[in-house]
A and B are shown apart, each in its own frame.
Chain A
């Protein structure tokens, strides 16, 4: 660690230059638009408008993204846990072959699939009715906030699981065996021995998922009606219907602040861990 840091900066320079030229520089225009009032002065008037019109949607977005992230985490832990600790070879093999398919489906296609799958008379309810699990009268449409969450979880679980299962496979098997030999159930081994060792990977997967879900437009647009809706839809609406870049950019800054906060909390946490270790 005693190497001179300018060498490190040199190595990271191309990547930084790329972000700088292709993201920060254009972002500057957006920020300027967000903080400028119609007369050209510096002001927060656009944020006032964003808050007045879209405060519900900001909360809705937070609710959707946080819930989806938590559910994604739970399901991923379950799948990765079975892959790591499962002792039924055929089950593990089948699960391993299955779980990652949604990874390849673009969000817009996922949204379209879900729109016809989760609908009141969609394929899911029709299957349940055909199997006799459900009466036709009980069928309800999931095309609202639940649909958005289901789509997000469906799409992001493979991503997190892929990373998590990798991390779990690499931990020292001896610790698992020791736990099992002491009579601990597999659930307990998973929670008390395996998870702490892979917490870091889980968190980073979830942070990346969180940020990705925050930026998806097609899913809330296509899966659910628009009242309330997510910030991406509002931004697109602001631009498409009013040509109002200022408010759209103010909403962008808010979404940016949410993502940045989550990333910052996570990185602070991991720095602390490093110092302790």
Chain B
């Protein structure tokens, strides 16, 4: 019995342990489609250009939790004095800021040819932390309200209209609170920006600890609003309930929304609406850990990933993400159909006007804590 087990164990390990000449380890936070993107598209493309190199992609889970795991791993490695075993990491804004502050990342953007192709503010500023030089945006994502046009003929255009709509249609709107993923967090951040006073200050700073006192009314209203909504289990939970027609409307990530639609998990008639005064979005960043042994290869990988061709073909056309580098660099690389498809529900001008960054770090935490204290309790 035991020998059998041992043999089975060893045999299984031998088949999986084949060593490669050179491996580039990429760790990515986010949903499965992020891993698939690297495994199926970017990895093979890079391997073709660099014979003998194998790209290994590992997913660490959706949302800030996934990025946090990468951070913890790099931090543990630093504290143990060990070299990092990830060569490229793909993380959210919050973790990127922390990693830069704790010197876990390398400054590389100025050394790669695509470094100058992005001018958007989020490439240098991650929730109030200066990350210039340390990161390249992989893609931008945006939250928006998804709705089922069969059930909602005239979707609300703004947060106040949405509030009114929910009052008239109880339990038809659903979001995932703040503990189940970022789409709910984004909805709450948007709520505070809409009803809590100085929205510009939330995005730009400076941080004023007294500001949170001015949100009391907004939070009390949100608590009342919550009486008439469905709290869904997670980012996927909201989409899931939209899928089964249990709710008619809810905040979602635009990229997840398109993926679900493409995979036949949402009615094909579903639409998106980006309400005023705006909802937050954020990029995913490519970064290189400070102590990787494959610095050069990692930089080349990111240069490829942020080149206009890859951004057009991979990010926009295949995965329906907004490009990480400035859109003007993609001109001529894409056919009109793919471009239109990306902006069919949310036109570029709406995106520019209503696509907001998340509040800066300290406000972000204050909003979450205020929610826990005043709304969830």
Contacts and interface: CB of A to CB of B under 8 A. Distances in A.
Q: What class of interface size applies to chain B in its complex with A?
A: 20 to 34
Nearest to A53: B372
Contacts of B180: 221, 225-226
A186 to B, nearest CB: 38
B63 interface: yes
Contacts of A260: none
Nearest to B98: A243
B244 A240 contact: no
B234 interface: yes
A222 B368 contact: no
A60 to B, nearest CB: 12
B52 to A, nearest CB: 37
Contact of A221 (B178, B234, B240, B372): B234
B179 A234 contact: yes
A115 interface: yes
A223 B376 contact: no
B219 to A, nearest CB: 14
B248 to A, nearest CB: 13
A114 B237 CA distance: 12
B65 interface: yes
With a 10 A CB-CB cut-off, give which of B180, B234, B240 has the most chain A CB atoms.
B180
Contact of B177 (A56, A119, A141, A225): A225
A226 B230 CA distance: 11
Given A227-B177, A240-B68, A243-B68, A120 B246 contact: yes
A242 B368 contact: yes
B133 interface: no
B80 to A, nearest CB: 13
A222 B244 contact: no
Contacts of B240: 115-116, 119
Contacts of A141: 230, 246
B128 to A, nearest CB: 15
Given A119-B246, A241-B368, A243-B98, A226 B231 contact: yes
Interface string A237-257: 101111100000000000000
B368 A227 contact: no
Given A116-B240, A240-B63, A225 B68 contact: no
A227 B368 CA distance: 14
A236 B98 contact: no
B233 interface: yes
Given A240-B65, A243-B98, A225 B365 contact: no
Contacts of A221: 179-180, 233-234
A228 B226 CA distance: 13
Contacts of A225: 176-177, 180, 230-233, 237
A225 B369 CA distance: 18
Nearest to B371: A227
Given A115-B237, A143-B233, A221-B234, A227 B246 contact: no
Interface string B227-241: 000111110010011
B62 to A, nearest CB: 10
B165 to A, nearest CB: 20
B373 interface: yes
B318 to A, nearest CB: 26
A16 B49 CA distance: 52
With a 10 A CB-CB cut-off, give which of B233, B241, B368 has the most chain A CB atoms.
B233
B368 A226 contact: no
Interface string B40-75: 000000000000000000000001110010000000
Given A237-B179, A241-B64, A243-B98, A226 B376 contact: yes
B377 interface: yes
B245 interface: yes
A202 interface: no
Nearest to B247: A120
Interface string A196-239: 00000000000000000000000001111111110001101101
Interface in B358-377: 365, 368-369, 372-373, 376-377
Contacts of B234: 221-222
Interface in B282-341: none
A122 B244 contact: yes
Nearest to A52: B373
Interface of A: 53, 56, 115-116, 119-122, 141, 143, 221-229, 233-234, 236-237, 239-243
Interface of B: 63-65, 68, 98, 176-180, 185, 226, 230-234, 237, 240-241, 244-246, 365, 368-369, 372-373, 376-377
28 contacts: A53-B377, A115-B240, A119-B241, A119-B246, A120-B244, A121-B244, A121-B245, A121-B246, A141-B230, A141-B246, A221-B179, A222-B233, A222-B237, A223-B233, A224-B233, A225-B176, A225-B177, A225-B230, A225-B232, A226-B179, A226-B376, A227-B231, A227-B376, A233-B179, A237-B178, A240-B65, A241-B64, A241-B368
3 closest Cβ contacts across the A-B interface? A225-B231, A226-B179, A240-B65
Given A223-B233, A241-B365, A242-B365, 19 more contacts: A53-B372, A115-B237, A141-B246, A143-B233, A222-B237, A224-B233, A225-B177, A226-B176, A226-B177, A226-B231, A227-B177, A227-B376, A237-B179, A240-B63, A240-B65, A241-B178, A241-B185, A242-B368, A243-B98
